[in-house]
Amino acid sequence: MSPLVKRVVLGISGLAVAVVGLGVWRGAELTNGRTVASAAEPQTPNRAGAPFAVVELFTSQGCSSCPSADKNLTRIIADAERRGINVLALSFHVDYWNRLGWKDPYSDAAWTTRQSAYARAFEAEGVYTPQMVVNGLEQFVGSDVEQSNRVIADSLAKDRTGAALTLRAGQKTAGQLRVDYDLAGAQPGESLVVVLVRDSGTMTVTRGENAGRKLSHRNIVRSLQRVAQPSGRGEVDVKLSTDPDGTPHRLIAFLQNDATLAIRAAATLEVQP
């Protein structure tokens, strides 16, 4: 069955009004450009117990409201890189927009399944784009700059205790990288999620709602592997992307509760060419 979909439009007063229909929730584009997490001090990524924000954007090249959210995620990443704060961003391209004439080349049904799991965890009526989820705990319209600033700042203001994760690159063979991990404080019912992301991608869309637009994306998810009930120390073999143009990739890994989807530890690792 197709996911329940909604559309968000601006009312006369400028307030967002939800209208149930045959599209998806579409976030009103906000232009407030304040920097992310202005109250947070620089953090050393992957330091045990360091505050972090895992930011997941569910988006699609077939959704006319998604480019503003893609730009917001790009802004979030640039601000985190500039300030050295521990924000780990992921761009999941869902597949349910593909039926409208443009197949997003980065889309995957697995990312729609992941978004549907969040909908169940949040007790939402259905999925929508663009949606942003932070640390598996809060969700909102992905183009909402003020909301993303606030939620990320709140996440970076919290010391993380009880779990810590570090990653190390191991042996690399043709098309595969062995990643060693050290994980402290894992609890029953949690999994280690290891995600390979492409640093960036730009494409001109020729059909669908964004026909004629040149779209840019950051941290595009290319694969996801899950280690159930991870031990304190272990390894996982990650299949590397077959993207042919040599664009850099990185790994982002996090410890996530299988039921609530809350994230308690996170780390990142550069993937050398």
Phi, psi of 143 (to 5 degrees): -90, 0
Residue 9 is predicted with a pLDDT of 30
Taken in order 40, 41, 45, 46, the sign of the CA dihedral is negative
DSSP assignment of 137-160 equals TEEEETT-HHHHHHHHHHHHTS--
Instruction: Give the global pTM.
Output: 0.84
pLDDT greater at residue 225 or residue 4: 225
pLDDT score of 122: 97
How far is the C-alpha of 29 from the C-alpha of 191, rounded, in Å?
Answer: 35
| Alpha carbon distance 87, 141 (integer Å) | 18
Q: What is the mean pLDDT of residues 126-133?
A: 97
Please enumerate in sequence order all residues whose Cβ is within 8 A of that of 186, keeping only pairs 6 or more positions apart, or say none: 163, 192, 229, 230, 231, 232, 255
Query: In this structure, what token pair is assigned to residue 240?
Result: 């590397």
Q: Which architecture does CATH list for 6-27+48-271?
A: Sandwich (2.60)
- The domain spans of the chain are 6-27+48-271
* Strands 53-59 vs 87-93: parallel, antiparallel or unpaired: parallel
Kindly tell me if the per-residue pLDDT of 104 is higher than 90: yes
User: What would the mean pLDDT of 242-260 be, rounded to a whole number?
Assistant: 90
CA–CA separation, 186 and 100 (whole Å): 42
29 CB neighbour count, 10 Å cutoff: 17
Closest by Cα among 53, 40, 41, 37 to 266: 53
Q: How confident is the model at residue 66 (pLDDT cuts 50, 70, 90)?
A: very high
Weakest-pLDDT range from 35-44, 53-62, 203-212, 264-273: 35-44
On the question of pLDDT at 170 being above 60, the answer is: yes
